Amino acid sequence: MKRWLVLGLLVCACGSDNKNNTTPDAGSTGSGTITGSVGGQPLTVKDAVFAVGNNTAIVMVTDRANICPLLAGATLPGPTTALLFSIANFVPPSTLNPLVTGDYAFFDLAADGGTLPSTAGQYWYGEFDGVDANCALTSNHVADGGTVSITQVGNTSGTHLKANLTGIRFGTDALNGSFEAIYCPALGNSSCGAGALLARPPAAE
């Protein structure tokens, strides 16, 4: 089993909470403002969603409106750009404490080959993806630094997840901003492109 799955930061590991509540926050869309660009591609936020489970959360901030119902399908209306990341409050060797407000530091899972953090803390890992109408990746940039500051922990009962982004780096590019994400159970098990729009870890042990 991949160590990242043990940590529970992969979307597909979100688990029981998504199964118990399959109704998104009807009639709402997430919001936000992101400045900067990655690979020459800016992100004009039209929606932001999150899924939760096993004391973790996965977040998608995207330029595609009404993304939650679209994630249940295998296609999109057109090309879509998304910032995706997962967050966890980790205690070695394998404990996940409940998410809390505060700063989440970047953990370089790719450089560490999937090895879990050796120090207790609040961590995030993510990427900036472009996909086509068939959900196939057209661009992929793995993050390598920055801070995600959670100002409100979201849940399945209607509380939105709110956060500020500071210096989210992708090589020489960086994103800054804030968002308010709506609970979306479809994000936890999206069939879009067999999971192209997921914050995926690298192949690990």
Its pTM stands at 0.84
pLDDT value of position 4: 31
164 with 3: CB under 8 angstroms?
A: no
> Residues 164, 169, 175, 180: what is their CA dihedral angle, to the nearest 10 degrees?
-30
Inform me whether the pLDDT recorded for 18 exceeds 80.
Answer: no
Residues whose CB is less than 8 angstroms from the CB of residue 40 and which lie 6 or more positions away in sequence, other chains included: none
- Report how far residue 85's alpha carbon sits from residue 61's, in angstroms, rounded to the nearest whole number: 9
| Residue with the two structure tokens 């004391």 | 55
Distance from chain centroid for Cα 106: 13
Q: What is the mean pLDDT of residues 40-56?
A: 92
Condensed to tens digits (0 to 9), the pLDDT of residues 72-109 reads: 888 899 999 999 998 999 988 888 899 999 999 998 87
Inform me whether the pLDDT recorded for 27 exceeds 60.
Answer: no
| Residue with the two structure tokens 């004009």 | 44
* 108 vs 148, residue with greater confidence: 148
How many CA atoms lie less than 13 Å away from 143 in the CB half-sphere? 31
- Neighbour-count burial of 134, counting CB atoms closer than 10 A to its CB (0-12 exposed, 13-18 middle, 19+ buried): exposed
- Helix (H) or strand (E) segment spanning residue 165: strand 161-170
Inform me whether the pLDDT recorded for 62 exceeds 70.
Answer: yes
